[in-house]
């Protein structure tokens, strides 16, 4: 608590600088980091012919992807995945995304890719915990070997999570060159490495999901609709 008091004293002693820094970070720096993450995920999805939404830098903070065989939309251009892998967090304490990416969350929170599924995928939401307990231990061991962890999502449900960490010093060095980021910057290589692990884990996830029958819900029209994924 004493450290918090001292930090508060420092902030108040130069409130103008801290105010300017907070606004700059929220309006310029953080959107640039999130935008580069978007670009990395979108580039991977296009190269692998996966589907997804890449709007992490937007207000909804929505960035997820799924292999095309997980998309069960009635129309070829309709996004309606039975499961997905989304940029998400666990154990967050109102931290900035960039802090979580850099493993600097106040409560040890982490960011990465979290597995989620449509409510119907495993026999409705209430059946997920039961389904999770029935997953082959060998499949779980293989996912852990790749780097996945078992965590609780925002709904308190156990699921699979693949963390990745960005290096703050590398981000600062890249930002210092021209004040912007792109998916080609080496400081975002950890995102690309995590995406390759998602591809490596795909056969395991396919095996897990193939243990349950999947049905596509009937649509009222044939227009393209964006899914609003809700984590299991």
- pLDDT computed for residue 6 by the predictor: 82
Average pLDDT over residues 46-56: 94
- What percent of the chain shows pLDDT beyond 90? 53
Please tell me the distance from the alpha carbon of residue 166 to that of residue 187, in angstroms, as a whole number.
7
Average pLDDT over residues 145-170: 93
| pTM, full prediction | 0.85
Please tell me the distance from the alpha carbon of residue 149 to that of residue 162, in angstroms, as a whole number.
6
Average pLDDT over residues 51-78: 85
Confidence bin at 75 (pLDDT 50/70/90): low
Average pLDDT over residues 41-59: 93
Task: Read off the DSSP letter of residue 165.
Answer: -
Please tell me the distance from the alpha carbon of residue 1 to that of residue 217, in angstroms, as a whole number.
53
- pLDDT computed for residue 230 by the predictor: 40
- pLDDT computed for residue 140 by the predictor: 95
Q: Mention every residue, 6+ apart, whose C-beta is less than 8 A from residue 44.
A: 50, 65, 192, 195
pLDDT one-digit tens code per residue, 97-136 = 999 999 998 878 899 999 998 777 776 655 677 778 888 9
- The arrangement of strands across the sheet holding 158-163 comes to 51-55, 62-66, 83-90, 110-117, 158-163, 149-152
- pLDDT computed for residue 213 by the predictor: 54
Please tell me the distance from the alpha carbon of residue 145 to that of residue 63, in angstroms, as a whole number.
25
Residue 217 confidence (pLDDT) above 60: no
33 with 56: CB under 8 angstroms?
Answer: no
Residue 172 confidence (pLDDT) above 90: yes
- pLDDT computed for residue 156 by the predictor: 82
Residue 229 confidence (pLDDT) above 50: no
- pLDDT computed for residue 226 by the predictor: 34
Average pLDDT over residues 6-22: 86
Residue 159 confidence (pLDDT) above 90: yes
pLDDT one-digit tens code per residue, 125-141 = 556 777 788 889 999 99
- pLDDT computed for residue 107 by the predictor: 79
Confidence bin at 60 (pLDDT 50/70/90): confident
pLDDT one-digit tens code per residue, 22-46 = 999 999 999 999 999 999 999 999 9
């Amino acid at each position: 608590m004493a450290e918090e008091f001292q930090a508060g004293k420092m902030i108040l002693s130069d409130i103008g600088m801290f105010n300017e820094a907070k606004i700059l970070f929220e309006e310029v720096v953080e959107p640039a980091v999130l935008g580069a993450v978007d670009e990395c995920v979108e580039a991977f999805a296009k190269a692998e012919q996966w589907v997804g939404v890449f709007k992490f830098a937007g207000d909804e903070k929505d960035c997820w992807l799924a292999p095309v065989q997980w998309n069960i939309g009635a129309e070829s251009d309709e996004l309606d995945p039975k499961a997905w892998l989304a940029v998400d967090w666990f154990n967050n304490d109102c931290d900035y995304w960039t802090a979580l990416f850099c493993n600097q969350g106040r409560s040890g929170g982490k960011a990465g890719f979290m597995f989620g599924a449509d409510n119907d995928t495993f026999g409705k939401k209430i059946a997920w915990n039961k389904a999770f307990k029935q997953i082959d231990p060998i499949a779980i061991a293989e996912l852990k070997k790749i780097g996945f962890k078992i965590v609780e999502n925002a709904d308190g449900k156990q699921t699979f999570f693949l963390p990745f960490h960005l290096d703050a010093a590398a981000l600062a060095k890249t930002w210092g060159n021209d004040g912007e980021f792109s998916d080609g910057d080496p400081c975002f290589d950890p995102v690309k490495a995590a995406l390759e692990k998602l591809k490596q884990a795909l056969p395991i996830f396919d095996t897990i999901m193939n243990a349950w029958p999947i049905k596509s819900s009937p649509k009222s029209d044939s227009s393209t609709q964006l899914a609003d994924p809700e984590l299991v």
